[in-house]
Structure 1
Amino acid sequence: MEPTLRLVAITNCPAGIAHTYMVAEALEQKARALGHTIKVETQGSSGVENRLTAQDIADADYVILATGRGLSADDRARFAGKQVYEIAISQALKNIDQIFTQLPTHSHRFAADSGVKLGQQEVQQGSVMSHLMAGVSAALPFVIGGGILVAIANMLVQLGLPYTDMAKGAPSFTWIVESIGYLGFTFMIPIMGAYIALSIADKPAFAPAFLVCYLANDKGLLGTQSGAGFLGAVVLGLAIGYFVLWFRKIKLGKALQPLLGSMLIPFVTLFIFGVLTYYVIGPLMSDVMGGLLHFLNTIPPSMKLGAAFLVGAMLAFDMGGPINKTAWFFCFSLLEKHIYDWYAIVGVVTLMPPMAAGIATYITPKLFTQQEKAAASSAIVVGATVATEPAIPYALAAPLPMITANTLSGGITGMLVIAFGIKRLAPGLGIFDPLIGLMSPAGSFYLVLGIGLVMNIALIIILKGVWMKRKAARPELIHEQ
């Protein structure tokens, strides 16, 4: 009989929404089944939950790190000297049994200054994409909270409440709620830039990046037609992060070294990049952003539909992977400029792969394994609230038919979203978005989602049926399920 182990774990993923919590639950269930004790710290979109104490870590026989955006220097220091098992969070769900069997053989003693190497993970720790996703993860609560408040204000106006801004005297309640909501959109950009820099160079980079990114989006102060937008946050966040990373290596002697991080780095960085932003970077990024906005607003309908097909196909292709995240980041970043139709594609297409797979399982159960049938209801429910990851096990079992079905239906649905003029104010609750005012018009949303699901389900049944017949005829051509 295996000895009882005391385990601790950390889970995080770039967006901090789905994988973080799904893997944590899977680890807890598997540990209990094996008779082990485990405590899992989740680093998700709502912050750190179930935080591991120093005593938890000290008492642990092994540490499991299932991460998608790496660990901060402070986190790495917590596990110095412990036996650590590392795995990409994208690989954890399908290899949950392997994690526990490999603990004695694949764990290594952790050094505080060692990087977290995760092999074939979607977003490699220390990569530019990992830093960008750290910024997006921090900006999400700003745009979600702000978007819901704006939606509530709009709903109140539609119900007949007055809307009066400050220029006309005492502002109305609806105007106040809407204005507070738009603060979320205003600050999502400096927060994004600040957390990109923080991800690269830790705390000394945070304040200068925040202030400079705010400056880059202040049209009044810069005297420009447009703020630098998300492009400014990306450029300045990365530039300041890597500058501070270099700056921190300077040795000033025992007397001045303590002042480096708290005073010298923020002051020098803010001065250099503040001046550069005012005279050069801000106006340049403003012109680029203005050109992009002009292009998006004047793009011919045929080209816009083609771009919408591409975005929808990318979102559905790898279900939370790097291609999905690239398309998601583009659509999400336009919210700050009050361009909502591209993010509506995200709000429809990302629902489809898990819901379609789950529904198809009920319609044609003979095409799916017992394990896939057991997960069908969960895939439908979780998928309906914009977590695409439950579709991954279905795609892994039959990559060619499932990914083809998802990608084709996602692309066509992206075109329908644009054609029907659907808009989405902020991330929300998937199929419930129209009910809380985040997605409109509601009728068009449900119609397009319905059409997309029918297409996706039909393609899954047809393509997987063909795939299964071919597999039965020539099993050597296709990996066993």
Structure 2
Amino acid sequence: MKLLAVTSCPNGIAHTYMAAEKLAQTAAEAGIDIKVETQGSIGAENVLTEEEIEAADGIILAVDKSIEMDRFEGKRVLSCAVSDAIRKPEELIQRFESGEVPVHRSREEAGETDDITQTNPTHKEERGQNLIYRSLMNGVSYMIPFVVVGGLLIALSLGLGGEPGAKGLVVPEDSVWSSILKVGEAAFTFMVPILAGYIAVSIADRPGLAPGMIGGFIAADGSFYGSEAGAGFIGGILAGFIAGIITRWIKSLPVPSVLQPIMPILVIPLTASTLVALLFIFVVGAPIASLMEGLTQFLQGMQGTSKVLLALILGAMIAFDMGGPVNKVAFLFGAAMIAEGQTFIMGAIAAAICTPPLGMGLATLLARRKYHQEEQEAGKAALAMGLVGITEGAIPFAAGDPLRVIPAMMVGSMTASTVAMLSGVTDNVPHGGPIVAAVQAVGNVPMFFVAIAAGTVVTALLVNVLKKNAEVQRSESD
């Protein structure tokens, strides 16, 4: 028997190659000839040729994201989760030996639109249950390089070329670090559109890319709906799912045969992009702008209340969306208070700002088994970003597992801001992280670092208590 296989997980790192190795090993032990194509983060490797596909007795698709199916027309195809190839490869191969695998049919013949699952109705029902997880991880896997590259370039430029000023750490325009800073900021601008675009791709395949990225850009740019800050990565996630669902719905509509050739390249992207944009600008965006105004007024009215309560609220807001609108409201409030001489407010915020990335970086070091390999690498970058006060370094973790990660980070930032507030830490520069102490903008430096350390440890320990092992998370999602 000659078998072929394709393995691909959302992150495209560890599980893709683990599955390929298990299939190859199991087939060799059974005396079966097999070739495995891996579609990892660096692209397709060991690609199956047309001749090999034609001569094969069957194909195993151990994939957790969309792949091209047309080349397997007329062959026996078994679709499964990538974790199935790792845990039970013998069972998958046995199904070919017993003749239980159906022949793959084209979309038109099968009357289905899901590229991955049309050969296995039972698996389709199972996979529908984890659509949210698969889509989130698909978006996160493509977003991480932009966060890491952009964040580290910004960190380098601020750390080596930044100077304290009224607007925070400022890089002189005539220095090489200014150009590096601009490149890092450019990389960051792609972060939310990429996240939204590839969430939509996971739901609706390639026609969802343009609507998703356009929706993500609108979500990140508050000028579309009158907000000083955009909707952040949370808005990007929402835009991605809206774009994916709308695109998939449009794809399912019956159209005359004369329009079918232009549907995927013109009609679907244009219609879906317009609907997503209008929905986000006029329905989703307006409440966000109103919420930001309300939060600003709320904080302004709290200036005479308990310092502890104010610190708790500011810390929670800073960590909630990591550079998003809620974070921006708290940050701008602290910056405004510097001009009024209340630098202790910015001191509390400065400690809270760096806690999410530092906490998540520490968490990946303390419990590596709870994080995929790609997340472990992102954790190292998050540590560097945290040192210069780039809260966005924690976004990949929050986007991939928001219900566990965000609450843990909020508690950690609340801890840091409260310790800083009670110990009288001050900050004369609208920026955060250890870098502001290095440029001598912080008062009571020892307690500033104590506050950061406390928040970082609380974040790391709490998130690791809440999170399950990476393999368990993937197994439950399959």
Q: TM-score range by the shorter chain?
A: 0.5 to 0.7
SS in 1 for 2:229: coil
Structure 1 residue runs without a partner (length 5+):
308-330, 357-378, 388-410, 425-439, 457-481
Q: 1:91 to 1:386 in 2, by over 3 A?
A: farther
Q: Identify the residue that residue 362 of structure 2 maps to in structure 1.
A: 348
Distance 2:66 2:55 in 1: 21
Q: Identify the residue that residue 267 of structure 2 maps to in structure 1.
A: 264
Kindly state the Cα deviation for residue 190 of structure 1 after the two structures are TM-superposed.
1.2
Structure 2 residue runs without a partner (length 5+):
108-117, 164-168, 303-307, 328-352, 380-406, 418-431, 434-448, 466-478
- Deviation per CA, 1:410-453: give whole Å up to 9, x if none: x99997798579x99xxxxxxxxxxxxxxx99x969x959x97x
Q: Identify the residue that residue 77 of structure 1 maps to in structure 2.
A: 70
> Matches of residues 321-340 of structure 1 in structure 2 within 5 Å?
334=322
SS in 1 for 2:287: helix
Contact 1:8 1:39 in 2 (8 A): yes
Contact 1:232 1:285 in 2 (8 A): no
Contact 2:143 2:195 in 1 (8 A): yes
Contact 1:186 1:336 in 2 (8 A): no
Q: 1:351 to 1:88 in 2, by over 3 A?
A: farther
Contact 1:189 1:214 in 2 (8 A): yes
Q: 1:30 to 1:354 in 2, by over 3 A?
A: farther
Kindly state the Cα deviation for residue 63 of structure 1 after the two structures are TM-superposed.
1.4
Contact 2:226 2:289 in 1 (8 A): no
- 2:232 is the alignment partner of 1:229: yes
SS in 2 for 1:284: helix
- 2:51 is the alignment partner of 1:51: no
What letter matches 1:134 in structure 2?
Answer: N
Q: Identify the residue that residue 273 of structure 1 maps to in structure 2.
A: 276
- TM-score normalised over the length of structure 2: 0.59
Contact 2:103 2:119 in 1 (8 A): no
- 2:61 is the alignment partner of 1:65: yes
SS in 1 for 2:87: coil
What letter matches 1:268 in structure 2?
Answer: T
Higher relative contact order (CA 8 A, sep 6+): 2
Q: 1:382 to 1:205 in 2, by over 3 A?
A: closer
Q: 1:99 to 1:269 in 2, by over 3 A?
A: closer
Q: Identify the residue that residue 102 of structure 2 maps to in structure 1.
A: 108
Contact 2:312 2:414 in 1 (8 A): no
Distance 1:201 1:282 in 2: 24
Q: Identify the residue that residue 38 of structure 1 maps to in structure 2.
A: 34
Q: 1:12 aligns with which of 8, 14, 39?
A: 8
Q: Identify the residue that residue 137 of structure 1 maps to in structure 2.
A: 141
Q: Identify the residue that residue 92 of structure 1 maps to in structure 2.
A: 85
Contact 2:77 2:119 in 1 (8 A): no
- 2:154 is the alignment partner of 1:150: yes
Contact 1:193 1:236 in 2 (8 A): yes
Q: 1:420 to 1:280 in 2, by over 3 A?
A: closer
Q: Identify the residue that residue 208 of structure 1 maps to in structure 2.
A: 211
Contact 1:70 1:125 in 2 (8 A): no
Distance 2:102 2:373 in 1: 38
- Deviation per CA, 1:244-299: give whole Å up to 9, x if none: 22223444434444333322333333333333333332232455588899999x99
Contact 1:12 1:20 in 2 (8 A): yes
Kindly state the Cα deviation for residue 23 of structure 1 after the two structures are TM-superposed.
1.8
> Matches of residues 154-193 of structure 1 in structure 2 within 5 Å?
154-157=158-161, 165=171, 170-193=173-196
Kindly state the Cα deviation for residue 227 of structure 1 after the two structures are TM-superposed.
0.4
SS in 1 for 2:274: helix
What letter matches 1:243 in structure 2?
Answer: I
Contact 2:196 2:237 in 1 (8 A): yes
Kindly state the Cα deviation for residue 125 of structure 1 after the two structures are TM-superposed.
7.1
Contact 2:3 2:57 in 1 (8 A): yes
What letter matches 1:141 in structure 2?
Answer: P
Kindly state the Cα deviation for residue 225 of structure 1 after the two structures are TM-superposed.
2.1
Q: 1:155 to 1:9 in 2, by over 3 A?
A: farther
> In percent, how many aligned pairs have the same letter?
31
Q: 1:35 to 1:343 in 2, by over 3 A?
A: farther
Equivalenced residues, count: 362
Kindly state the Cα deviation for residue 136 of structure 1 after the two structures are TM-superposed.
1.9
SS in 2 for 1:109: coil
- TM-score normalised over the length of structure 1: 0.59
Q: 1:302 to 1:267 in 2, by over 3 A?
A: closer
Distance 1:280 1:19 in 2: 40
> Matches of residues 354-365 of structure 1 in structure 2 within 5 Å?
none
Kindly state the Cα deviation for residue 142 of structure 1 after the two structures are TM-superposed.
1.7
Q: 1:207 to 1:177 in 2, by over 3 A?
A: same
Kindly state the Cα deviation for residue 355 of structure 1 after the two structures are TM-superposed.
6.4
Distance 1:41 1:292 in 2: 51
Kindly state the Cα deviation for residue 224 of structure 1 after the two structures are TM-superposed.
0.9
SS in 2 for 1:40: strand
Kindly state the Cα deviation for residue 189 of structure 1 after the two structures are TM-superposed.
1.0
Distance 1:383 1:224 in 2: 32
Distance 2:374 2:247 in 1: 40
Distance 1:264 1:97 in 2: 45
SS in 2 for 1:278: helix
